[in-house]
């Protein structure tokens, strides 16, 4: 059962997200039901025979020119007979706009594209601002139910502790993203030095030594950087890959064992991992810039004009440190998880990464919640997904021709004709609900002119899936009450900042980790790590994941 929430007007930070309680007066769902257009049965279009208008607050997209004049928007209105009256929040200030809008009480009928946080869903759901969607799903959710079948974890991810679903998700099952903690190595250098791809932490050390001492770029200068990372960028922090050779943990530094949530970074195995990283630094094999530079500076290293200088690089994908248009991109392959001294060899895995929670919310201002829901439900259909994310058939994509293969090497189903990522006004560019399963993504025809997706699929399949961590070790996404979230926000930043600071100091030798370890563990306890874990455990115990 949910606990009492904070009083009106109070705001808090959770991670980088501002959460505010409802400040305006509550409004009962909808206007007079008789004034709302009748909604046609599931599967029948248009959704309403009379033109229906729905007011939507949409998170802005840097890749969408104008949602109101967008080609998909116009096509969707024609098919459904629902006109969307848009208010678009600028991408950079979208979260702030959402919080202010909700707190003011002057919010629209639908909130879309924001990835509304679970704590906000629970709070505004309890207050009656967000409508529970369970009955609508049961009555009208033809494609939503198909989505639940295609994405088995989705229902648990989006179900609040009170049993209600207050927001619909975006499902995007990115196979290589689910095992995104990767290390890339310069295969051209390995071949030149007649070295195999390393398999253990000690073999990795030997390769880095060779990169440092044997001039693999052949310019006669000691300019090679054997190992480097960055402070930001996807999976670019240097410890994320290497520490998993000493202890298993999920993307938040936690793990779930025997029904109990714990952290990895106060365990003796973590200490051994720090000592290994320090030993690499001490030999000049690990660049100190890994702890200070951002991804842009990392890419400048990767595109050094005089000669290639990067040996091994921590990153989810090579575009973080080298342009895919350059010849250098072809030189890099992944290293599989390295076996550590204790026999651990683990690839990070997030079984919940496919489900983006909070992408479509219906509020109690909705004059016709049924019509709003049917609109969202249609976006999970294959037709809705293709048009909202890829574009128009015959123009932005076509069906695969006979013999064309997909990313996974199986017969392809669809071929993209347009380049994704630029500003356009044809589709919604991954805004709002959609259903892109792993099978859907991999059935895209492999494009030899744009091989990144094929590379990432093959590297993940061959080097990371065999060592994928047990999904049961992963702490699932949890709903927190406002009180829990407020307390977590205070504790989390303090602990995270201290952990990261001590990691950097231990690696570069500013502290002796053997001498400082006991004090480090005690300091984490003083920073309320036990209470931090207790809150997570409380949330887990009332979640739908606790069977």
Tens of pLDDT, residue by residue over 208-239, are: 999 999 999 999 999 999 999 999 889 999 99
Name the burial class of residue 468, with classes exposed (0-12), middle (13-18) and buried (19+) by CB atoms within 10 angstroms of its CB. middle
Mean pLDDT of 369-392: 98
CA distances from 433 to 6, 97, 169, 258, 380 (A): 30, 20, 6, 35, 7
Alpha-carbon 385 to chain mean position: 19
CATH match for 180-335 among 3.30.365.10, 3.40.50.450, 3.10.580.10, 3.40.190.10: 3.40.190.10
DSSP class of residue 200 equals B
Report the pLDDT value the prediction gives residue 418, as an integer from 0 to 100: 86
- Residue 327 · residue 188 · CB < 8 Å: no
**How is domain 11-176+354-389 classified at the CATH fold level?**
D-Maltodextrin-Binding Protein; domain 2 (3.40.190)
Whether residue 46 has a cis bond before it, omega within 30° of 0: yes
**Closest alpha carbon to 500 in 290, 204, 187:** 290
Spatial CB neighbours of 401, under 8 Å, sequence gap ≥ 6: 415
Kindly indicate the confidence band of residue 547, based on its pLDDT and cuts at 50, 70 and 90: low
Same fold for the pair 11-176+354-389 and 180-335: yes
Tens of pLDDT, residue by residue over 497-539, are: 999 999 999 999 999 999 999 999 999 999 999 999 999 999 9
Report the pLDDT value the prediction gives residue 354, as an integer from 0 to 100: 94
How far is 174 from 463, CA to CA, in rounded Å? 16
The H or E element that residue 355 is part of is strand 355-362
Report the pLDDT value the prediction gives residue 82, as an integer from 0 to 100: 98
Mean pLDDT of 130-155: 97
Tens of pLDDT, residue by residue over 314-342, are: 999 999 999 988 899 999 999 999 999 99
How far is 63 from 86, CA to CA, in rounded Å? 17
Task: Name the residue ranges covered by the structural domains of the chain.
Answer: 11-176+354-389, 180-335
- Residue 294, SS3 per DSSP: coil
Kindly indicate the confidence band of residue 36, based on its pLDDT and cuts at 50, 70 and 90: confident
Sheet containing 310-314: give its strands across: 225-228, 310-314, 183-186, 332-335
pLDDT at 11 over 80: no
State both tokens at 128: 């009656």
% residues pLDDT > 90 (the chain): 88
Mean pLDDT of 427-431: 95
Cβ neighbour number for residue 432 with a 10 Å cutoff: 25
45: phi then psi, degrees, rounded to nearest 5: -125, 145
pLDDT at 26 over 60: no
80: phi then psi, degrees, rounded to nearest 5: -100, -20
pLDDT at 2 over 50: no
Report the pLDDT value the prediction gives residue 219, as an integer from 0 to 100: 96
- Residue 299 · residue 234 · CB < 8 Å: no
How far is 198 from 206, CA to CA, in rounded Å? 9
Tens of pLDDT, residue by residue over 463-503, are: 999 999 999 999 999 999 889 998 998 899 999 999 999 99
Report the pLDDT value the prediction gives residue 215, as an integer from 0 to 100: 97
DSSP class of residue 337 equals P
% residues pLDDT > 70 (the chain): 93
pLDDT at 14 over 60: no
Kindly indicate the confidence band of residue 422, based on its pLDDT and cuts at 50, 70 and 90: confident
**Closest alpha carbon to 47 in 32, 58, 37:** 37
CA distances from 469 to 153, 247, 337, 436, 536 (A): 17, 11, 11, 24, 21
């Amino acid at each position: 059962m949910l606990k009492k929430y904070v009083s009106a007007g109070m705001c808090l930070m959770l991670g980088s997200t501002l959460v505010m309680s409802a400040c305006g007066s509550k409004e009962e769902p909808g206007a007079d039901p008789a004034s709302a257009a009748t909604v046609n049965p599931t599967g029948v279009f248009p959704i309403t025979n009379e033109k229906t208008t729905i007011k939507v607050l949409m998170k802005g997209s840097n890749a969408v020119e104008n949602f109101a004049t967008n080609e998909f928007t116009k096509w969707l209105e024609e098919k459904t007979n629902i006109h969307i009256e848009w208010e678009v929040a600028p991408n950079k200030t979208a979260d702030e706009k959402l919080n202010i809008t909700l707190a003011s009480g002057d919010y629209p009928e639908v909130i879309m594209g924001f990835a509304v946080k679970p704590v906000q869903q629970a709070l505004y759901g309890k207050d009656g601002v967000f409508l529970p969607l369970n009955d609508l799903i049961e009555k009208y959710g033809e494609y939503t139910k198909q989505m639940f079948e295609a994405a088995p974890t989705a229902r648990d991810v989006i179900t609040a502790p009170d049993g209600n679903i207050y927001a619909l998700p975006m499902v995007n099952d990115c196979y290589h993203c689910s095992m995104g903690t990767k290390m890339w190595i310069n295969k051209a250098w390995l071949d030149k030095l007649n070295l195999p791809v390393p398999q253990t932490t000690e073999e990795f050390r030997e390769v880095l030594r060779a990169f440092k001492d044997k001039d693999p770029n052949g310019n006669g200068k000691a300019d090679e950087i054997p190992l480097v990372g960055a402070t930001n960028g996807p999976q670019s922090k240097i410890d994320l890959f290497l520490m998993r050779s000493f202890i298993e943990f999920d993307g938040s530094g936690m793990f779930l064992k025997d029904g109990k949530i714990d952290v990895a970074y106060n365990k003796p195995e973590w200490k051994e991992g720090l000592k290994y990283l320090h030993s690499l630094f001490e030999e000049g094999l690990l660049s100190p810039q890994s702890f200070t530079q951002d991804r842009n500076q990392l890419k400048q290293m990767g595109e050094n004009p005089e000669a290639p200088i990067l040996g091994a690089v921590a990153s989810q994908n090579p575009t973080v440190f080298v342009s895919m248009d350059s010849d250098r991109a072809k030189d890099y392959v992944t290293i599989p998880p390295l076996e550590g001294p204790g026999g651990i060899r683990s690839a990070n895995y997030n079984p919940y990464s496919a489900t983006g929670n909070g992408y479509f919310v219906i509020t109690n201002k909705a004059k016709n919640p049924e019509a709003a829901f049917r609109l969202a439900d249609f976006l999970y259909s294959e037709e809705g997904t293709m048009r909202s994310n890829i574009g128009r058939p015959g123009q932005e994509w076509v069906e695969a021709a006979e013999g064309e293969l997909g990313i996974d090497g199986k017969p392809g189903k669809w071929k993209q004709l347009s380049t994704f990522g630029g500003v356009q006004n044809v589709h919604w560019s991954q805004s709002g609900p959609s259903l892109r399963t792993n099978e859907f993504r991999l059935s895209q025809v492999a494009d030899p002119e744009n091989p990144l997706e094929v590379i990432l699929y093959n590297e993940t399949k061959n080097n990371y899936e065999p060592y994928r961590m047990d999904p049961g070790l992963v702490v699932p996404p949890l709903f927190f009450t406002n009180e829990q979230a407020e307390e977590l926000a205070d504790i989390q930043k303090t602990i995270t900042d201290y952990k990261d600071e001590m990691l950097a100091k231990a690696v570069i030798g500013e502290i002796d980790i053997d001498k400082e370890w006991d004090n480090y563990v005690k300091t984490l306890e003083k920073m309320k790590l036990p209470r931090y874990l207790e809150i997570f455990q409380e949330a887990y115990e009332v979640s739908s994941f606790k069977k």
